[in-house]
């Protein structure tokens, strides 16, 4: 289905194209390591190459694609070591965000995050993974913003962008998805109680569980060695 965005002004257009490409990358419609074919994407999104290239540059700056000399743009593909290291950093950033948010969030922010949580629960009940993930991401970002530390927010955005596609796929296992929802409930409860230590703890735990699921999925996708001494 083509995105209906051709009538938008130029500056807004490339931002809309970037949003659509970002969604495609996160949801696996463009596979990790795949080259972004400009001709195909122009046809699919119904745009010219100029806004598409501007959008791709935006995603390159975000770390979602690699801009390679003589090869063009390639969807980010992380190694097992990359995933481990990135999740370690992100868990620390999320933990700090939670601790500060519990201390600094306004009552309106707590209510908004709680409302997003209930919307997310409804998506989970419907099995709407795409809607769930969008709300999930908004909750994590809202907690980060409620920490009121712009340096933390900029760093968080940069690191988190590298893991978006992998975090999306980590919810495709039903039991692990249910466990993630339970952790989110604990987050909201800790935030409402202004319990900084509890919110920090559950956010770090949540991210490390995500890391374990992602690593398990990566290992499961790797080719297995031949058995029985076959050559």
Domain-embedded: residue 47? yes
Tally of CB atoms within 10 A around 231: 3
Residues 69 and 85 in one domain: no
Last residue of a domain, one of 18, 48, 75: 75
Instruction: Give the global pTM.
Output: 0.76
Q: How many domains does the chain fold into?
A: 2
Residues 136 and 166 in one domain: yes
> 54: domain range?
10-75
Q: What is the mean pLDDT of the chain?
A: 87
pLDDT at residue 129 in the model: 87
Residues 91 and 197 in one domain: yes
Domain-embedded: residue 33? yes
Residue pair 45/176 in contact (Cβ under 8 Å)? The answer is no
Residues 188 and 96 in one domain: yes
Q: List residues bridging with 35 in a β-sheet.
A: 74
Distance, in Å, from the CA atom of 62 to the CA atom of 56, rounded to the nearest integer, reads 10
Compute the average pLDDT of residues 199-227.
81
Query: Which pLDDT band holds residue 221 (cuts at 50, 70, 90)?
Result: low
pLDDT in tens, 51-102: 999 999 999 888 889 898 877 899 988 889 999 999 999 999 999 999 999 9
């Amino acid at each position: 289905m083509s995105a209906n965005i051709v009538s938008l002004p130029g500056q807004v257009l490339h931002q809309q194209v970037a949003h659509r490409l970002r969604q495609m990358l996160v949801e696996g419609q463009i596979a990790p390591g795949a080259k972004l074919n400009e001709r195909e994407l122009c046809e699919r999104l119904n745009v010219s190459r100029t806004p598409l290239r501007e959008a791709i540059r935006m995603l390159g700056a975000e770390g979602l694609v690699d801009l390679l000399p003589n090869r063009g743009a390639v969807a980010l593909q992380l190694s097992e070591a990359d995933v481990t290291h990135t999740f370690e950093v992100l868990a620390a950033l999320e933990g700090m965000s939670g601790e500060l948010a519990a201390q600094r969030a306004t009552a309106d922010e707590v209510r908004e995050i709680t409302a997003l949580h209930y919307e997310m629960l409804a998506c989970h009940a419907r099995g709407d993974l795409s809607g769930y993930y969008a709300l999930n991401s908004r909750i994590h970002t809202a907690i980060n913003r409620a920490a009121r530390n712009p340096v933390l927010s900029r760093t968080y955005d940069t690191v988190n962008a590298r893991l978006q596609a992998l975090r999306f796929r980590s919810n495709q296992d039903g039991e692990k998805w249910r466990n993630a929802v339970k952790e989110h409930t604990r987050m909201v409860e800790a935030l409402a109680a202004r319990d900084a230590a509890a919110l920090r703890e559950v956010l770090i735990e949540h991210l490390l569980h995500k890391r374990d699921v992602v690593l398990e999925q990566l290992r499961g996708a790797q080719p297995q060695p031949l058995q029985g001494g076959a050559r």
